[in-house]
Structure 1
Amino acid sequence: MPNIRELDPSASPLDYFGFELRRKREEAGLTQGELGACIFCTGSLVGQVETARKVPTREFAERVDAALGTDGEFSRLVGLVLRSQLPHWFQAYAEMEARATYISTYQCQLVYGLLQTEEYARAVLGVDQTDRLDELVAARMDRQRILKRDQPPVLYVVLDESALHRQIGGRGIMRRQLAHLLGCFDQPWTQLQVLPFSVGEHAAMMGSFNLLRFDDDPDIHYSESYDAGHMTANPQVIRERSVGYARLQADALSPKESAVLIARLMEERYGEQPESGERTVA
């Protein structure tokens, strides 16, 4: 029997999505099972989304729009739903990131979230999160949609060589992640450089940080602690970090040299060979 739990549509984007899905489905005269058959899923899954017990995927939203003729309503709404699954302290940054014209990032331990493969992201997020892992991975992957826009942001990435050596999830996952990074060199609006171990001390010894630039708003500097994000538009901080980032870029390998290093590590460190026990993260 269908679950008829009542939702408060103002409680969250997820509740609003479920409330509207039920309303539009009932207007169309469809049962949960009938709608599920139209969008290639079970009626139970439709019911779980309608009662905010399951986070919809973007594919689910797009199929609902096609089945119910809702003119992209759910496809537009699902972005808000997925963003709401991010940690509360990160959501404000994600909103700013989505509006930025230029993104400059230095990453000292991990591949930047916008360039992570899904399985790499799952391994990273699975260290601390297991109960909401699917939702967090979906939210991280959805952030990457900004790179596929007609006018994507210009993305500058300086990646510490240590991030290439840190084996996340297993050799196979790392090999595919590095292959994905190699594909980024073909993207006209993305510049990727590796900061090699040989540089020694450098201008970002304090850790990873991001700089966001906008067409009509002040620049933003962003950094993270263990459980919080810190954003500031302080002109002095922006000035210092901008100079620091320019120094990082100057110290880093050129994009061509960086591609050679990544390709070499992909073969030498993560080359395809029998693995005794590649770690999997559920």
Structure 2
Amino acid sequence: MPVQYNSSSPGTWRYSGNQMKRWRTKANVTREELGAASNYSPDTIKAMEQGVRMPTARALDTADELCHADGLLSAAKDYVKREPFPARAQDFMLYEQQAISLWWYEVALVPGLLQTEAYMRALFGNSTPPPEEETVEERVAARTARQEVLTRRPPVACSFMLYEAVLRGPQVDKEQLVHLLDSGQRNNVVIQVLPYERAVPAALSGPMVLLETSDHERFALSDGQQVSQLSSDPKLVSVHGERLSMIRAVALGPGESASFIERMVNDCER
């Protein structure tokens, strides 16, 4: 049966938060009291207890002391870790590491596998609400590690189609453009540009990815600002495949695309 993947908070967050709530309730400690003792607002404590936010070491240690848990809550620190990817993307990241082929179309942003560190930091650092510097560095490290897909052995066949708006984004600089050219030199990587004047309706409906694993399972990813859908439904996979084929048919070829990007690099030097 086709599977629809909906990510949620990590299980360790939910379990540790639930245990913190149980111990707090048993000890007749209010959220306000725990929040004041650990320097968090009651709403933040509530989010931790519900597994929406990661229970921090400070909150766990404070709860352990206030609730007389004898180290049982503090022990959760060894198991609760900050996830490197947003919850909605974790299923896709798992299958990406098993991929033998990737077909990727982007409308506005450089695909994560082709981003420079400077581009990553610009994206992560300017998100809303502003993340902590530690969070930005964790996400940059995680995304950089993902790029191993491009150099893996045996090679993963990667085809990227980029709408022209991707190349003209505010975070795109000469370094990023050159990095795209260098990436396109790999024998397992194809990069094609879709200029504005060649856009077809199929190209304006948002980004998407088709992925095939080593077990020959095929998945389709539809990605939005706050919602992602990863599906193995053959019908949805087929629709994505048809749409990608239409875009590829009107996009510039790899050689023409490289020349297009090279002209942009030259414009940056003027």
Residue 125 of structure 2: aligned partner: 126
1:143 and 2:146 equivalent?
Answer: yes
Residue 106 of structure 1: aligned partner: 105
Change (3 A) 1:89 1:271: same
Deviations 1:152-182 (A, max 9, x none): 31100000111111120xxxx6100000001
Following TM superposition, by how much is the alpha carbon of 1:82 offset from its aligned partner in structure 2, in angstroms? Answer: 9.6
Range 246-255 or range 196-205, more displaced: 196-205
**Structure with greater contact order relative to length (CA < 8 Å, sep ≥ 6):** 2
Change (3 A) 1:82 1:135: farther
State TM-score, norm by structure 2.
Answer: 0.66
Following TM superposition, by how much is the alpha carbon of 1:226 offset from its aligned partner in structure 2, in angstroms? Answer: 1.9
Q: Distance in 1 between matches of 2:195 and 2:57?
A: 46
Pairs within 5 Å for 1:133-282: 133-168=136-171, 174-268=173-267, 270-271=268-269
Does the CA contact (< 8 Å) of 1:221 and 1:232 recur in 2?
Answer: yes
Specify the SS of the correspondent of 1:253. Answer: coil
Specify the SS of the correspondent of 1:239. Answer: helix
Q: Distance in 2 between matches of 1:82 and 1:158?
A: 35
Residue 117 of structure 1: aligned partner: 116
Question: What amino acid is the match of 2:118?
Answer: E
Does the CA contact (< 8 Å) of 1:178 and 1:262 recur in 2?
Answer: yes
Deviations 1:27-52 (A, max 9, x none): xxxxxxxxxxxxxxxxxxxxxxxx98
Following TM superposition, by how much is the alpha carbon of 1:208 offset from its aligned partner in structure 2, in angstroms? Answer: 0.4
| Shift >3 Å, 4+ stretches | none
Q: Distance in 2 between matches of 1:200 and 1:147?
A: 27
Q: Distance in 2 between matches of 1:256 and 1:148?
A: 21
Question: Alpha carbon RMSD of aligned pairs, Å?
Answer: 2.3
Task: State the identity %.
Answer: 32
1:84 and 2:83 equivalent?
Answer: yes
Q: Distance in 2 between matches of 1:101 and 1:183?
A: 21
Q: Distance in 2 between matches of 1:82 and 1:99?
A: 23
Specify the SS of the correspondent of 1:203. Answer: helix
Runs of at least 5 residues in structure 2 that lack an aligned partner in the other structure: 1-10, 14-55, 59-79
In terms of Rg, which structure is larger? Answer: 2
State TM-score, norm by structure 1.
Answer: 0.64
Question: What amino acid is the match of 1:261?
Answer: F
